[in-house]
Amino acid sequence: MNDLSNLGEFGLIDLIKQDTINDHSSVVVGIGDDAAVVLPTPRQLQLLTADMLVEAIHFDLTTTTPWQLGYKAVAVNLSDIAAMGGAPRHAVVSVALPRSIPVDFVVNLYKGMKEICREFGVNIVGGDTVSSPQGLVINVTVTGEVEPANVVLRSGARPGDVVAVTGNLGSSAAGLDLLQAGEWEDDAFAWPLVTAHLTPRPQVKTGQLLAALGATSMDDVSDGLASEAHEIAKASQVGIKLYSDKIPLAPELAGAAAKFNKQAIDYALFGGEDFQLVFTMEQGKYETLQAEHPELRVIRVGEVVDASEGVTLVDETGQVKKLEPRGFNHFRQEE
Amino acid sequence: MNDLSNLGEFGLIDLIKQDTINDHSSVVVGIGDDAAVVLPTPRQLQLLTADMLVEAIHFDLTTTTPWQLGYKAVAVNLSDIAAMGGAPRHAVVSVALPRSIPVDFVVNLYKGMKEICREFGVNIVGGDTVSSPQGLVINVTVTGEVEPANVVLRSGARPGDVVAVTGNLGSSAAGLDLLQAGEWEDDAFAWPLVTAHLTPRPQVKTGQLLAALGATSMDDVSDGLASEAHEIAKASQVGIKLYSDKIPLAPELAGAAAKFNKQAIDYALFGGEDFQLVFTMEQGKYETLQAEHPELRVIRVGEVVDASEGVTLVDETGQVKKLEPRGFNHFRQEE
């Protein structure tokens, strides 16, 4: 049988190290020595981020292909680099593989990773391949670079700033509901939602542009807009007021919400893994951005207010409600 | 009960981010934003390495404390940086934790990581904390820096070079046998072997010095000397001749070998996780090293020969035998 026990660890490494370098100018040594050797760009700060995806927690192999899983494992990290205003450079990939896993599965997992790396000019320069007694685990660490003047933290939001996002929210969480319920293929609304969940597109170019144009804080929407708003509010010591009727939703979201008897807006506020960016910016700069970059999709969803106001949501009737920071929490008690 | 479900993911992060920065001059932002922001040293190459440790494959929680496990998870990465001649700088730590794990366990796991990071001036700047349906998984990625002139690959060995190691080999594998057999506490020889296995010391300073003194190739002994010799031979397109009576063994190794009815030398050749360095160096430079650095423990174990000779072992009787590259292989068929 063509599984990993025939190929061995070194055979596997030979197989995956093909087509891993997209920017040869910055890689001295890629996969194959004790450590990778890369050339940093002079006068840039370096960014480091990691995400670990665990089977049965982050993904279900009955609802994702290995290619999609590989793509997403890298995408979530590129999204973190985007949220800092940086350009992603190198990836280090560790996988724990059940011994019975077919070689084809592993090849396609890496094909998905290589595809998104090629798209964003990222090099896979190293990692680790080990066996797992049960369940697949993937950890991707990505480095990025950013001009010192352009790095955007969560902590720079100031009262009066605009709060805006870069695209539709809630699609990914609705896509997850569809995947978990199964038989979504017949629903006309399902495809874009499922795609948003399985192969999210990190907003790398947009993040760099927003950083250069003066975003005062930025975060990627990985745990729902409510949770990210709380993170920015806490780090910046400000309040944030969001308007529910401004939050951009995919037209297809209503169909999924109806199917699962949920509110579409709740997917956006409390769902996760959209990997759009939420950012804050001075009013004047935001207007300049809109005037000078009509190609850029940004949607104003609220404003930064004084810390004493907390994080609130103004609903369609004008009522102001406190917004709880609930989103996905790995160690929360089951409710 | 004081387990993770009470604390939550963000409570956990608050707990672990204390005492993670040892070199404040190079860290702009540590744990807590989308990505860490660090300051590279000008005109240095950067090193990147990762190791993933999986419960029931790499460690057994009945034979290691969480502190020891944390220490080792970082140590194995520092060893990879050492093998390139570099100085370790930053660590990014991902852990997948079973929900039932006690908070104390996690605190002690990070204490072990923080201790070795403090010792080597490494900063823990980020990572990911997720839940695991079963079994603990730890991935550590470490960055390092090295002068461009000093980086040592596996590929620079030349016929005539000395082959040497930095310390005793085989202790770790014997320690593992003792731990697995249990009841080792009464064996007078056991303690140093068990310690070598549970809390290996990466040879960081020695690696940097050997690199500066002109090592032509270097590898850390993670899979046994035979396997590392084959890796250097393959990468450098040379042969390597080792002398069994030159290979340094801890005096305690004989006791373990007798207990398990094994050959002591086999632990050194085919065991793993010693995390000493094996390196090659021109004869003249090696003699200078010995004369000028009496404080440095290096032991000549063989010489680099022509590729046509392959990798061989000269036994005590002078017989030359082919040396197989067997060591630990994650996906090998069970024999």
pLDDT digits (tens, 9 = 90+) for B254-264: 999 999 999 99
CATH code (residue A35): 3.30.1330.10
Average pLDDT, chain B: 94
Q: What residues make up the domain containing A115?
A: 4-148
What whole-number distance in Å separates Cα of residue A257 and Cα of residue A260?
5
| Count of CB pairs separated by less than 8 Å, A with B | 244
What whole-number distance in Å separates Cα of residue A164 and Cα of residue A248?
10
Can you tell me which residue has the tokens 């996002």?
Answer: A165
| CA B148 to each of CA A39, B91, B210: distance values in angstroms, whole numbers, following the listed order | 9, 21, 14
Binary contact (A330, B51; C-beta < 8 A) = no
Nearest to B255 by CA among B171, B143, B326: B171
Measured in whole angstroms, the distance separating CA A164 from the mean position of its chain's CA atoms is 17
* B150: closest chain A residue by CA: A37
Same domain, A129 and A224: no
| pLDDT tens-digit readout, B177-219 | 999 999 898 899 999 999 999 999 999 999 999 999 999 999 9
Residue-level pLDDT at B329: 54
Is B313 part of any domain?
yes
Same domain, A84 and A168: no
The stretches of chain A forming alpha helices (DSSP H) are 4-16, 66-83, 103-120, 171-181, 190-198, 204-212, 225-236, 253-259, 264-270, 283-292
Residue A213 has pLDDT above 70, yes or no: yes
Which residues of chain A have a CB within 8 Å of the CB of B132?
Answer: 54, 57, 135, 137
Nearest to A152 by CA among A208, A107, A217, A99: A217
Residue B218: CB atoms within 10 A of its CB come to 29
Binary contact (A48, B38; C-beta < 8 A) = yes
Is A330 part of any domain?
no
Which residues of chain A have a CB within 8 Å of the CB of B12?
Answer: 331
Residue-level pLDDT at B334: 39
Same domain, B141 and B198: no
| pLDDT tens-digit readout, B74-116 | 999 999 999 999 999 999 999 999 988 999 999 999 999 999 9
Binary contact (B133, A83; C-beta < 8 A) = no
Same domain, A144 and A171: no
What whole-number distance in Å separates Cα of residue B32 and Cα of residue A154?
9
Same domain, B82 and B215: no
Which residues of chain B have a CB within 8 Å of the CB of A21?
Answer: none
Residue-level pLDDT at A334: 39
Q: Which of the listed residues B86, B120, B148 is the one where a domain comes to its end?
A: B148
Q: Which of the listed residues A148, A174, A194 is the one where a domain comes to its end?
A: A148
User: From the list A84, A132, A330, which residue is nearest B131 (CB)?
Assistant: A330
- Contact between A28 and A38 under an 8 Å Cβ cutoff? The reply is yes
| CA B146 to each of CA B47, B152, B324, B334: distance values in angstroms, whole numbers, following the listed order | 7, 9, 33, 40
Residue A282 has pLDDT above 70, yes or no: yes
What whole-number distance in Å separates Cα of residue B9 and Cα of residue A208?
29
| pLDDT tens-digit readout, B282-320 | 999 999 999 999 999 999 999 999 999 999 999 999 999
Residue B335 has pLDDT above 80, yes or no: no
| pLDDT tens-digit readout, A114-124 | 999 999 999 99
Task: Choose, out of B9, B29, B34, B145, the residue to mutate when testing the contact with A (most A CBs < 10 Å).
Answer: B34
Same domain, B251 and B303: yes
Which residues of chain B have a CB within 8 Å of the CB of A84?
Answer: 33-35, 37
- Residue A306 in 3-state DSSP? coil
Is A327 part of any domain?
no
Same domain, B168 and B316: yes
What whole-number distance in Å separates Cα of residue A191 and Cα of residue B146?
48
The stretches of chain B forming alpha helices (DSSP H) are 4-16, 66-83, 103-120, 171-181, 190-198, 204-212, 225-236, 253-259, 264-270, 283-292
Is B60 part of any domain?
yes
Same domain, B250 and B205: yes
* A81: closest chain B residue by CA: B35
The number of folded domains in chain A is: 2
Binary contact (A128, B134; C-beta < 8 A) = no
Give B289's DSSP letter: H
User: From the list B10, B50, B92, which residue is nearest A127 (CB)?
Assistant: B50
User: From the list A50, A131, A135, which residue is nearest B126 (CB)?
Assistant: A50
* B125: closest chain A residue by CA: A48
The stretches of B237-298 forming alpha helices (DSSP H) are 253-259, 264-270, 283-292
Question: In degrees rounded to 5, what are phi and psi of residue B281?
Answer: -160, 145
Six-digit token string for A260: 């699962």
Whether the pTM exceeds 0.90: the reply is: yes
Same domain, A28 and A111: yes
What whole-number distance in Å separates Cα of residue A116 and Cα of residue A200?
11
Same domain, B95 and B172: no
Residue-level pLDDT at B325: 86
Which residues of chain B have a CB within 8 Å of the CB of A51?
Answer: 94, 128
A102 backbone φψ class: left, alpha, beta (φ>0; ψ -120 to 50): beta
Residue A1 has pLDDT above 70, yes or no: no
Is A332 part of any domain?
no
Partnered with residue A42 across adjacent β-strands are none
CATH code (residue B296): 3.90.650.10
Residue-level pLDDT at A100: 87
Is A66 part of any domain?
yes
Q: Indicate the pLDDT class of residue A6, thresholds 50, 70 and 90.
A: confident
Partnered with residue A72 across adjacent β-strands are none
Residue-level pLDDT at A116: 98
Residue-level pLDDT at A335: 32
Task: List CB contacts of B282: < 8 A, sequence separation 6 or more.
Answer: B158, B160, B161, B162, B214, B216
| pLDDT tens-digit readout, B133-156 | 999 999 999 999 999 999 999 999
Average pLDDT, chain A: 94
What percent of chain B shows pLDDT beyond 70? 96
| pLDDT tens-digit readout, A294-332 | 999 999 999 999 999 999 999 999 999 999 887 655 555
What whole-number distance in Å separates Cα of residue A281 and Cα of residue A241?
14
**Structure-model confidence comparison of residues A131 and A15, the more confident one:** A131
Binary contact (A92, B50; C-beta < 8 A) = yes
Q: Indicate the pLDDT class of residue A13, thresholds 50, 70 and 90.
A: confident
Binary contact (A6, B333; C-beta < 8 A) = yes
Same domain, B136 and B218: no
| pLDDT tens-digit readout, B56-71 | 999 999 999 999 999 9
Binary contact (A134, B135; C-beta < 8 A) = yes
What percent of chain A shows pLDDT beyond 70? 96
Task: Choose, out of B33, B59, B146, B153, the residue to mutate when testing the contact with A (most A CBs < 10 Å).
Answer: B33
Which residues of chain A have a CB within 8 Å of the CB of B90?
Answer: 48
Is A333 part of any domain?
no
What percent of chain B shows pLDDT beyond 90? 88
Please state at what angle helix A4-16 crosses helix A103-120, rounded to 10 degrees: 10
Is B328 part of any domain?
no
Q: What is the ipTM of this complex?
A: 0.94
Q: Which of the listed residues A148, A173, A191 is the one where a domain comes to its end?
A: A148
Can you tell me which residue has the tokens 């004989």?
Answer: B254
Which residues of chain B have a CB within 8 Å of the CB of A235?
Answer: 32-33
Binary contact (A331, B131; C-beta < 8 A) = yes
Same domain, A180 and A142: no
Which residues of chain A have a CB within 8 Å of the CB of B137?
Answer: 52, 54, 96, 132, 137
What whole-number distance in Å separates Cα of residue B33 and Cα of residue A176?
26
